Amino acid sequence: MSADFDLYRLSEEHDAIREAVREVSASKIAPHAAESDETAQFPQAAYDALRATDFHAPHIPEAYGGAGADALATCIVIEEVARVCASSSLIPAVNKLGTMPLLLAGSEDVKSRYLPSVASGDAMFSYGLSEREAGSATASMKTRAVRDGDGWVLSGQKSWITNAGVSDYYTVMAVTDPDAGSRGISAFVVEAADDGFSVGALERKLGIKGSPTRELLFDRCWIPEDRLVGDLGQGLRIALRTLDHTRVTIGAQAVGIADGALTAATAYVQERQQFGKPVSDFQGVQFMLADMAMKVEAARQMVYRAAAASERDEPRLSFLGAAAKCFASDVAMEVTTDAVQLFGGYGYTRDYPVERMMRDAKITQLYEGTNQIQRVVMARQLLKGNA
Q: What is the CATH number of the domain that holds 20?
A: 1.10.540.10
Q: Are residues 379 and 281 in the same domain?
A: yes
Q: Which of 211, 235, 259 is the last residue of a domain?
A: 235
- Tell me: pLDDT of 218 over 90: yes
pLDDT at 139: 84
| Mean pLDDT, range 283-311, rounded to an integer | 98
Q: Is pLDDT above 70 for 316?
A: yes
* Domain span holding position 87: 3-120
- Alpha-carbon gap, residue 387 to 378, rounded angstroms: 7
Same domain? For 107 and 200 the reply is: no
Model confidence at 134, in pLDDT bands (50, 70, 90)?
confident
Q: Both 215 and 179 in a single domain?
A: yes
Q: Which of 197, 216, 235 is the last residue of a domain?
A: 235
pTM score, two decimals?
A: 0.97
**Domain identity same for 142 and 260:** no
77 and 204, same structural domain?
Answer: no
Q: What is the mean pLDDT of residues 124-148?
A: 93
What does the pLDDT average to over 339-360?
98
Burial 29-48 (b: 16+ CB within 10 A, else e): bbebbbebbeebebbebbbe
Are 221 and 250 contained in the same domain?
A: no
Distance CA 329, CA 307 (A): 16
In one letter, which amino acid is 139? A
Q: What does the alpha-carbon distance between residue 229 and residue 127 come to, in Å, rounded to a whole number?
A: 13
174-193 pLDDT, tens digit each: 999 999 999 999 999 999 99
Which of 66-104 are b and which e, b meaning 16 or more Cβ less than 10 Å from the residue's Cβ? bbebbbbbbbbbbbbbbbbbbbbbbbbbbbbbbbbbbbb
Q: Are 336 and 299 in contact (CB under 8 A)?
A: no
Residues 314 and 189 both lie in one domain? no
On whether both 377 and 249 belong to a single domain, the answer is yes
Q: Which helix (H) or strand (E) element contains residue 377?
A: helix 371-384
Question: Percentage of the chain with pLDDT > 90?
Answer: 95
334 and 378: one domain?
yes
Q: State how far the Cα of 256 lies from the Cα of 82, in Å rounded to an integer.
A: 5
Residues 195 and 326 in one domain: no
131 assigned to active site: no
CATH number of the domain to which 339 belongs: 1.20.140.10
Does residue 116 share a domain with residue 168?
no
Instruction: Indicate the number of domains in the chain.
Output: 3
Domain final position from 95, 120, 145: 120
pLDDT level of residue 137 (50, 70, 90 thresholds): confident
Cα–Cα distance for residue pair 103/122, rounded to 1 Å: 19
Are residues 142 and 90 part of one domain? no
CATH code of the domain in which 198 resides: 2.40.110.10
